[in-house]
């Protein structure tokens, strides 16, 4: 695990991490793969970098706030009351545990996420 420590810098936009294929039961389109590296876990929260390649997948979310560093994607919610959101570099999003989503990634998406 890459660790953040006080007074250090990590280049989250270029952090190398191995990809893992998305489980078949989550794949909606294409052959997406994801990767995640945890940077810090302290005080009951974790900070990490997550990435997904082009394609579409279903997910059940955890509580998190994230900032998109790179990519182009849409997140749709099973809850019809919530509109789809477009993700681009600089987007800041809050998700709640249990939300059911479909992530459609057109250009590899990389985000820094903070979860309790």
What integer is the mean pLDDT of 88-95? 97
Q: Identify any residues that bridge with 30 across adjacent strands, giving them in sequence order.
A: none
Mean pLDDT of 77-105: 97
Could you tell me the CATH superfamily of domain 25-115? Jelly Rolls (2.60.120.10)
Contact assessment for residue 56 and residue 28, using Cβ atoms and an 8 Å cutoff: yes
| Distance from chain centroid for Cα 29 | 17
Mean pLDDT, rounded, for 81-106: 97
Choose among 12, 11, 50, 15: nearest CA to 33: 50
Q: What is the pLDDT of residue 79?
A: 93
Residue 68 has pLDDT above 80, yes or no: yes
Tokens of 39: 């940077």
Q: Is 7 a residue whose pLDDT tops 70?
A: no
């Amino acid at each position: 695990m890459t660790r953040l420590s006080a007074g250090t810098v990590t280049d989250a936009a270029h952090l190398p991490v191995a990809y893992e294929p998305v489980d078949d039961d989550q794949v909606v389109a294409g052959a997406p793969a994801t990767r995640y590296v945890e940077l810090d876990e302290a005080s009951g929260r974790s900070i990490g970098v997550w990435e997904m390649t082009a394609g579409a997948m279903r997910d059940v979310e955890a509580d998190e706030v994230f900032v998109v560093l790179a990519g182009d994607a849409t997140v749709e919610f099973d809850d019809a009351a919530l509109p789809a959101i477009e993700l681009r570099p600089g987007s800041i999003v809050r998700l709640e545990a249990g939300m059911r989503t479909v992530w459609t990634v057109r250009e590899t998406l990389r985000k820094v996420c903070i979860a309790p």
